[in-house]
Structure 1
Amino acid sequence: MERQAVEAARRWLADQGVRQVRDGWVSDENPDVLLTADQVAHSWAGDVFAEDLDAADQLRLAFGLLDLLDEYWVTCEIRFANEDAEGPLPSDVLWDGYRRRLEADREVEAVTYSLWVDWFEDHTTSATAFAEVLGNDIDRVVAKPSEALLRRARLVLECSGPVPWTVKEPTYRTAARLPALHTALFRGLRAGFHDVYGDLEPAAALALLDQLDLPTNTRHLAGLRHVLAAGHKNHYRSPGAWDDAVRSCS
């Protein structure tokens, strides 16, 4: 959590008449009604982008609000602002904001969920988003794997199932050179098969899977190897394939 950004967001909410109390949030307009962080996000996060600030400062304020509230809806408002008539938002600030939060030593479920269901599932944004949060840096991650870089790489790999195979395969192959990323890479491959919008090429994915140093009792490892060897690309394109694999491997 970036303290300055959080405090700026807290001051901004106070200017809107919204303040944090012991069990949630209250507004000056209805001080007897306790609000959740999600309700605050839905009611006020979008207003950040109407502030008399340049787009970069609006975006920084929105990220501070995300840190403060820890709600996925704030990321939705960021995405909306990026796509509206005044957008796009400054890409350097946008992706630096994502990278910093992925590297932070705390839970960032709102951030990874945003990447997964918004940026990665949309094929008009998946290539850019994946490159910005990991693909452009993977050589540096493997060569000089700090804890922060490893944390970011693991989180991105684990939610990268919807990213097109041609986009993520080079990054996957580089990540496979670093054993510390093997479990996350396995989870990314598994998600590529199971996600509704997951994408992989069975033969290439199997070859990559066979390079990973994983415990032999890794849950779903045998099943994933079985479906890939049979040429299945996606759970939803091959109904029953996973159940068959589980029965065969049990």
Structure 2
Amino acid sequence: MDKEAIEDARRWLAEHGVTRLDDGAWAADDAPGERLTSNEVAHGWAGLALTDGDRDATGRLRLAFGLLDLLDDYWVTCEIRFADRGPEGPLPAEPLWESYRRRLEAPRDAEAVTYSLWVDWFEDRDTAAVAFAEVLGRDIGLLRSDAPQALLRRTRRVLECSGPVPWPAKDAAYRAAARLPVLHPALFKALLNGYHDVHGDLEPTGALSLLADLDLPTGTEHVGELHAVLAAGHRNHYRSPGAWDEAVRRNAG
């Protein structure tokens, strides 16, 4: 969390007549008497922040991420992506992805950021590989037993939402994560989500090899079922809708 960016965002909202009430709701000068939610503030002002003519592109991006920290609302990330992919884009890449990385490393809940990666950047084949490389793939050489906790936290979060990323773009990162037992539960979730996600992408042979090497807590659910469908050559639940149910029945038997 960037405290300076948060305070900047708070001041910017106040300049636009939006202030936070003592109970956490918001008030706006152009809606007297109304109590606004953080989501309503995000919908009303995040896009405006990204077109603020008084700031350069990096300044607008920093303001938007300050709003994200302040409001903790996924819609802010939507507006960031709209700006990057829109006619005035792309946004400056280094501050964009550094902002994602910092929030993925922070102890604070990062649900809005990971959801943004999952359903926006990773599900889009035009952006999945680059986004994955920026938030994790380029740093796999740093994944060692003495890696900082912040990097391990970022890695876990990215792995768990990486199901839609094309297999060639994530294979090396998955193999790097497999070398660290502390990351095995997150890597298992990555494989499981990669199988079940509508847009999930797995290469059965490679995924099966990774799965076989994972040291998982006793009682981890669905290990047997995932092994069965991968061993049978299935890539995705939605391409072979009966395969998982059959694996569940056999495992139960």
Q: TM-score range by the shorter chain?
A: over 0.9
CA contact (8 A) 2:156 2:183 kept: yes
Q: Cα deviations across residues 37-61 of structure 1 (Å, max 9, x unaligned)?
A: 0000001100012212110010000
Which residue does the alignment assign to 2:96?
94
- Does residue 34 (structure 1) correspond to residue 35 (structure 2)? The answer is yes
Q: What CA distance in whole angstroms lies between the structure 2 residues aligned with 1:220 and 1:149?
A: 27
- Where structure 2 has 5 or more consecutive residues not aligned to the other structure, the ranges are none
Q: What CA distance in whole angstroms lies between the structure 2 residues aligned with 1:242 and 1:92?
A: 41
Task: State which of 175, 178, 185 in structure 1 corresponds to 2:177.
Answer: 175
Which residue does the alignment assign to 2:205?
203
CA contact (8 A) 2:143 2:176 kept: no
**2:191 alignment partner AA:** L
What SS does the corresponding residue of 1:145 show, helix, strand or coil? coil
Which residue does the alignment assign to 1:230?
232
Which residue does the alignment assign to 1:113?
115
Which residue does the alignment assign to 2:55?
53
What SS does the corresponding residue of 2:195 show, helix, strand or coil? helix
Task: State which of 153, 156, 159 in structure 2 corresponds to 1:157.
Answer: 159
Which residue does the alignment assign to 1:5?
5
| Segment drifting more, 98-107 vs 44-53 | 44-53
- Does residue 240 (structure 1) correspond to residue 242 (structure 2)? The answer is yes
**1:133 alignment partner AA:** V
| Segment drifting more, 98-107 vs 210-219 | 210-219
Runs of 4+, deviation exceeding 3 Å: none
What SS does the corresponding residue of 1:139 show, helix, strand or coil? helix
What SS does the corresponding residue of 2:50 show, helix, strand or coil? helix
Q: What CA distance in whole angstroms lies between the structure 2 residues aligned with 1:218 and 1:128?
A: 32
Root mean square deviation of aligned Cα: 0.9
**2:85 alignment partner AA:** E
TM-score normalised per structure 2: 0.97
Name the count of aligned residue pairs.
Answer: 250
Report deviation, 1:216: 4.1
TM-score normalised per structure 1: 0.98
What SS does the corresponding residue of 2:143 show, helix, strand or coil? helix
Report deviation, 1:215: 2.6
- Where structure 1 has 5 or more consecutive residues not aligned to the other structure, the ranges are none
- Does residue 218 (structure 1) correspond to residue 220 (structure 2)? The answer is yes
Q: What CA distance in whole angstroms lies between the structure 2 residues aligned with 1:235 and 1:97?
A: 34
**2:6 alignment partner AA:** V
Q: Cα deviations across residues 120-168 of structure 1 (Å, max 9, x unaligned)?
A: 0001100100000000001113254111101000000000000000110
CA contact (8 A) 2:204 2:234 kept: yes
Which residue does the alignment assign to 1:18?
18
What SS does the corresponding residue of 2:224 show, helix, strand or coil? helix
Q: What CA distance in whole angstroms lies between the structure 1 residues aligned with 2:250 and 2:166?
A: 29
CA contact (8 A) 2:25 2:35 kept: yes
Q: What CA distance in whole angstroms lies between the structure 2 residues aligned with 1:66 and 1:30?
A: 22
Q: Cα deviations across residues 65-98 of structure 1 (Å, max 9, x unaligned)?
A: 0000001110010001111222111100000000
Q: What CA distance in whole angstroms lies between the structure 2 residues aligned with 1:169 and 1:247?
A: 30
What SS does the corresponding residue of 1:50 show, helix, strand or coil? coil
Q: What CA distance in whole angstroms lies between the structure 1 residues aligned with 2:35 and 2:159?
A: 38
**2:8 alignment partner AA:** A
